[in-house]
Structure formats: C-alpha cells, structure tokens
C-alpha cells in the first residue's frame, strides 16, 4: 500500500514481490533447516509439527532472483504486485520424506504432533497464482524436489552429514 502510494505520488515504477517460501543455500531457518537439525540430534526419529497435511508453495532461491530480474526489466509506470512462486507445492509429509531420504536416513520414524496448524500462526495451505509472472516471460528452472536436494546437499556441506 505504501509503495503503491509512493509510486503514484512521485511518478515512479515499483513492484511488490509476494514470495512463496524460498529455499536454498544460506537459509538457516524454516522447516528444512529444522528437520535437518532434528535428524542430526537423533537420526532414528523425526518429530514434525502438525499433521503433515499442510500444503506449502516453495521455490528455489535462484529462480526467485531470476523472477526479480525479469520483473525489474519489465517495469511499467505505477505499481505492480506480483505473486512469485515455482507453481509447485509440497505437503509437509513429503518434505519430511525428502529430507530423510536426502540425508541418508530414509527409515527414520516420522512422528507428527497432530495439530492442523504446526505452530502458532502457521498457514495450512499456501498457493500463489503466478500467471502474471509467467506472462512476463518467467518460468522456473529448478524443479522443486531437485531444489530440496540441492539445499540438503548444501546443509551437509556446511554443517556435516547425519550419522547414526
């Protein structure tokens, strides 16, 4: 709202990027990082907040940067709010499976805490319409599950493997 008003008042162009959850190198918070740390402590068991049925939109960091560059190159007068996402979603249960498999502990027992909202303020479903972004010529390069593995590989390189 403020950016839109400022753009109009001063005759400048602006874009508000409404981002999905971003994953990739240097990310040190969020579900992927939390699950990695839990498995580092106990590779036989993984406690996951919620039911596993939370459904979240994600995208890899390099795709996010590419979207920002394309939007900057396509600025028109006024203000443009744009949803930015890969267009793919992951269930939290699938995230837990991917993290366990990616860390080499596919047999870890996954236990859910049971509440629909995993934590106070959790959004159960996030899904963004990215048709406007695609109309600007953007498309994701990194498939979501590949991005998850790239991030897991980075975590292992930075903080070490999960060991029994």
Interval 58-111: pLDDT, tens? 999 999 999 999 999 998 878 899 999 999 999 999 999 999 999 999 999 999
Interval 101-130: pLDDT, tens? 999 999 999 999 988 888 888 999 999 999
Q: Which residues pair with 90 in a beta bridge?
A: 56
pTM, to two decimals? 0.91
Q: Which CATH number fits domain 2-159: 3.30.300.10, 3.40.50.720, 3.40.1080.10, 3.30.830.10?
A: 3.40.50.720
- Separation in Å, CA 83 to CA 48, 121, 131, 152: 28, 21, 8, 26
Encoded tokens for 79:
């203000």
Task: Name the residue ranges covered by the structural domains of the chain.
Answer: 2-159
């Amino acid at each position: 709202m403020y950016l839109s008003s400022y753009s109009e008042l001063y005759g400048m162009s602006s874009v508000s990027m409404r981002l999905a959850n971003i994953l990739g190198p240097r990310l040190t918070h969020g579900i992927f990082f939390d699950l990695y740390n839990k498995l580092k402590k106990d590779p036989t068991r993984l406690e996951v907040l919620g039911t596993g049925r939370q459904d979240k939109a994600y995208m890899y960091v390099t795709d996010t940067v590419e979207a920002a560059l394309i939007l900057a190159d396509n600025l028109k007068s006024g203000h443009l709010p744009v949803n930015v996402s890969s267009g793919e979603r992951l269930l939290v249960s699938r995230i837990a499976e991917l993290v366990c498999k990616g860390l080499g502990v596919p047999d870890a027992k996954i236990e859910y805490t049971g509440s629909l909202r995993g934590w106070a303020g959790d959004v159960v479903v996030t899904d963004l319409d990215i048709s406007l972004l695609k109309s600007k010529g953007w498309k994701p390069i990194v498939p979501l599950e590949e991005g998850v593995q790239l991030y897991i590989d980075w975590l292992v390189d930075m903080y070490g493997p999960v060991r029994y």
